[in-house]
Amino acid sequence: MRFSENRKVAFVALALCVVISLFGFGGMGLARERGKVLKVYDRGTEPDLDIRHSMDAYLDAAAEKAQEMVSEAELYIGKTQTTQKVADLAALVADSDLDTRYQAWTDLKGAVDGLYNAVQRATDSDQFAQFKIAYRDFNGAKDKIEKDEYHRLAADYNGLIGSFPGGLVATVTGQGTLNTFGG
């Protein structure tokens, strides 16, 4: 019996080649792409610079400025639910896994604006200069987060796994979408 004459064996061999190509090589390719995106998240596009220009660093900076705002706000309005909420969200943004960090960041942006409004209503604007500086710096970090290259790369990766056969490979290999942090 020759291999070329047995259609069942040929079909099984072809199916096996397709499965190995899709899930073996395709899965490794998706994992490699995901790794590249996460490297940009962690180290930025210029990893050799002394100053980190990355989503991770920008989120850390925003969380730090939010904590400074809480400290300043407590001088003017005391410890409130609003200050506690901002403090809790900032802590999650500073030290969590990617998905938790994404949700906390989404919530923190609005909570910081609410804190700013609460302090502004409670005191004379000349009295809370340090608070305003921390708020300005928070918004600077927010702008950097919104303009970071990570957003495009994460969206491209999500597009890869949102189409065929990428979606099938991602499902089988357990690789889900990446949060784009609103970019």
Q: What is the CA radius of gyration of the chain?
A: 24
pLDDT number for residue 144: 92
Number of domains in the chain: 2
Same domain, 98 and 140: yes
Predicted local distance difference test score (pLDDT) of residue 74 = 94
Q: Please tell me the predicted confidence (pLDDT) of residue 25.
A: 45
Helices and strands counted in the chain (H then E) = 8, 0
d(CA 122, CA 77): 7
- Looking at the fold, whether 43 and 109 belong to one and the same domain comes out as no
Identify the pLDDT of residue 162. 74
Q: Are residues 67 and 83 in the same domain?
A: yes
With contact defined as beta carbons under 8 Å apart, do 54 and 40 qualify?
A: yes
Tell me how crowded residue 77 is: count the other CB atoms within 10 A of its CB.
Answer: 17
**Same domain (yes/no): 107, 141:** yes
Contact of 66 with 93, CB cutoff 8 Å: yes
Q: Does residue 142 share a domain with residue 63? A: yes
Which residue type, as a one-letter code, is found at position 17? Answer: C
Cα–Cα distance, 134 to 123 (Å, whole number):
16
183 assigned to some structural domain: no
Tell me, yes or no, whether 28 and 69 share the same domain: no
Q: Are residues 94 and 169 in the same domain?
A: no
Quick check: is 181 in a domain?
no
At 100 the pLDDT is: 92
Convert the pLDDT of each residue in 54-65 to its tens digit. Answer: 889 999 999 999
Verify that 94 and 132 share a domain, yes or no: yes
Domain extent, residue 20, equals: 3-48+151-173
Non-local CB neighbours of 51 within 8 Å, separated by 6+ positions:
none
78 in a structural domain: yes
Query: Is the pTM value of this prediction over 0.75?
Result: yes
- Segments of the chain scoring below 70 in pLDDT: 1-5, 9-28, 47-51, 125, 164-174, 182-183
Residues 78 and 114 in one domain: yes
Same domain, 88 and 116: yes
My answer on whether 38 and 74 are in the same domain is no
My answer on whether 65 and 41 are in the same domain is no
Nearest to 183 by CA among 162, 156, 165: 156
